[in-house]
Amino acid sequence: MKLRIPVFPVLLAATTALLPSIALADTLQARPGDPAWMHLGADALLWAHIAGGAIGMITGVVALAVRKGQRVHRAAGSVFFLAMFVAYAIGAGVAPFLETGQRPNFVAGIMALYLLVSGAAAARRRDVKAGAPEVIGLIVALSIAAAGVLFMRIGAASPSGTVDGSPPQAFLLFTIAGAFAAAGELHVLVRKLLPNVSRIARHLWRMCFSLFIASGSFFLGQMQVFPEALQQSVLLPVLALAPLPVMLFWLGKVHFDEWRRQRPKAAVA
């Protein structure tokens, strides 16, 4: 009998327990006059967020580069999931408690978590059947898409033209990804059972898009940590967007391989 540890509740509880340490902070740092435990909690969250993101991006690249379904791919994928879950959970959990506006970051964190969890589930479940997870996923995906539309309207009506510093055009990402994910959940609910090629495609695009959220947040959202020469080059945008063409390549390969496998059957029939 295998012992299954409920990873999500454990990590969620741990993150929630540490949230008071960064409440009302401008960043993941306690204020000078706060107690020592608040400083320790804030530092722990900050470094866990940074380490999770760094490890997640590295193992995500490994998982994309190696042969799919093999031992290295599965190991890298497992580490990617755990590391990015920690990074995203902290980012989404902390955002509402910061002094500066963090509404876009909160929604981005929820979207990244949703795609990460549902993408990993598609790999672990050999049979993706219609059920409660897909209904919940549909609600989450539609909420993300609606948040994107709402933010675009708020930004357009704002004197600054932004929402918490982000331009309205940036929220098109929420709307597109949310709508696409919602269509995927509806696809499962209507078909009741996904064929294997659709299951693999579901896993691929969700994990890759989750990685793209991380790469975009790092290479474009934290450009100040890079040398000025890199900030003015095209390298950072290229690295930020890299998961998307890789995602398209693997999606195309999966469907092409399936089409090639089906050709002999069609010819015989």
- Secondary structure string (H, E, C) spanning the chain: CCCCCCHHHHHHHHHHHHHHHHCCCCCCCCCCCCCHHHHHHHHHHHHHHHHHHHHHHHHHHHHHHCCCCCHHHHHHHHHHHHHHHHHHHHHHHHHHHCCCCCHHHHHHHHHHHHHHHHHHHHHHCCCCECCHHHHHHHHHHHHHHHHHHHHHHHHHHCCCCCECCECHHHHHHHHHHHHHHHHHHHHHHHHCECCHHHHHHHHHHHHHHHHHHHHHHHHCCCHHHCCHHHHCCCHHHHHHHCHHHHHHHHHHHHHHHHHHHHHHHHHHC
What would the mean pLDDT of 45-63 be, rounded to a whole number?
89
In a domain, 175, yes or no: yes
Is residue 138 domain-resident? yes
Residue 106 lies in a domain: yes
**What residue numbers bound the domain in which 134 lies?**
97-223+236-251
Least-confidence region, from 46-55, 130-139, 257-266: 257-266
Range with the poorest average pLDDT among 9-18, 56-65, 156-165: 9-18
| pLDDT tens digits, 252-268 | 998 898 888 877 655 55
Measured between alpha carbons, how far is 160 from 176 in angstroms, rounded to an integer? 24
Q: How do residues 225-242 score in pLDDT, each as one tens digit?
A: 888 888 888 999 999 999
The least confident of 34-43, 46-55, 211-220 is 34-43
Q: Is residue 209 part of a domain?
A: yes
Residue 1 lies in a domain: no
Q: Given a cut of 90, is residue 137 above it in pLDDT? A: yes
- Give the pLDDT band (50/70/90) at residue 4: very low
Per the domain annotation, does 200 fall within a domain? Answer: yes
| Residue 163, in any domain of the structure | yes
Evaluate whether residue 153 is within a structural domain. yes
How many distinct structural domains can be found in the chain?
Answer: 1
